Structure 1
Amino acid sequence: MEELTLTTPALLFSAISLIMLAYTNRFLAYAAIIRNLSEKYIEHKSASILRQINNLKLRVKLTRYMQITGISSLLFCVLTMFLIYIDFNLIAIWAFGLGLLLLIVSLLFLIWEIQISAKALQHHLVDIEDHLIN
C-alpha cells in the first residue's frame, strides 16, 4: 500500500462539502413541507395528511443520520490529516478508513431515504390518477 499523504483525505473535502449542502437542502425542504402540512392538518384533520407527516418524520430522521455520518466522515478526514502531520501514520490510515466507512454509511442512508421519497411520490401519483378517473 502506498503511503497516505495529506492530499488524499483533503480530496474528500469538496465531495463531502457538496454532499452536506445537498443534505441540508433536503432538510430545509422537509421543514417547509412539514410546516405546510401541519397547518393543513390543523384545518382538515385528514388521514392522508397524517400519513404524509409520518412519512416525513422518517425521512427527516434519515436525513439527520445522513448529516451526522457525513459530518463524522469529514471529522475523520481532518483527524487523518492531523495524524499524518504529527507522524502517526498507522493511526491515520485507520482514521481515514473509518472516515470512508462513515461516508459509505451516509450514502446508504441517502439511498434508503430516496427510496422512501420515490414511494411517497408514487402514492401521490396514484391519488392524482384516481381523481382524474372519477
Structure 2
Amino acid sequence: MEITLTTPALLFPAISMLLLAYTNRFIALASLIRNLKEQYTRTHNSLLMGQISNLRERLFLIRNMQALGIASMFLCVLCMFVLFSENQVAGKYLFGISLLLLLASLALSFREIQISVNALRLELSDLENQEDERKTYHPAR
C-alpha cells in the first residue's frame, strides 16, 4: 500500500476536533474541582472527598488523552515530512504509529466517559434516596 502526503493530512481535522473536545472537558473539570474545593473548605463534607477522588482519576485520564492526541498529531506531521522526503517505508510506520496513538487516546476517552457517567449515576441515586426519605418523613397531605 502506498500512502501520499495527503493521507496523514486527512487526520488533522479529526485530531484537532478531538483535542478541542478534550480541552473543553479539562476546562469543565478544572472548574468543577475548584468549586468542590471551595465547598469542602466551607463544609468539610466527607462526600465531597469521594467526588474529588473521582475527579482526580478523570483528570489523569484527560491529561493522557491529550498527550496521546498531541503525539498522534506530531507523528502525522513528521510522517508528512518523511513522505515529502520520499521515504515511503518510514512514512508508513510513522502513520501507523500515529493511528495507534489516536486509538489509545480514544480508548482513554471512552474510559473517562464511563467514569463520568458512573459518578452521575451515584449523584442521581443519592438525590432519589434523599427524596424517598423526605417522602417517608413528610408524607403528602
Counterpart AA for 1:20:
L
- Taking the TM superposition and a 5 Å limit, the aligned residue runs for 1:13-32 are 13-32=12-31
Q: Deviation at 1:5?
A: 0.3
- Taking the TM superposition and a 5 Å limit, the aligned residue runs for 1:1-134 are 1=1, 3-134=2-133
Q: Deviation at 1:31?
A: 0.4
Q: What secondary structure does 1:4 align onto? A: coil
Q: Deviation at 1:131?
A: 1.1
The corresponding residue for 2:137 is none
Q: Deviation at 1:74?
A: 0.4
Counterpart AA for 2:125:
V
TM-score between the two structures when normalised by the length of structure 1: 0.98
Separation in structure 2 between the aligned mates of residue 34 and residue 99 of structure 1, nearest angstrom: 32
CA-based RMSD: 0.5
Q: Deviation at 1:23?
A: 0.0
Q: What secondary structure does 2:86 align onto? A: coil
Counterpart AA for 1:69:
L
Aligned pairs, number: 133
1:33-52 C-alpha deviation (Å, 9 max, x unpaired): 00000000001111110000
- Structure 2: stretches of 5+ with no match in the other structure: 134-141
Q: Radius of gyration: which is bigger? A: 2
Counterpart AA for 1:7:
T
- Structure 1: stretches of 5+ with no match in the other structure: none
* Structure 1 ranges of 4+ moved more than 3 A: none
Separation in structure 1 between the aligned mates of residue 23 and residue 64 of structure 2, nearest angstrom: 12
Counterpart AA for 1:38:
K
TM-score between the two structures when normalised by the length of structure 2: 0.93
Separation in structure 2 between the aligned mates of residue 30 and residue 97 of structure 1, nearest angstrom: 32
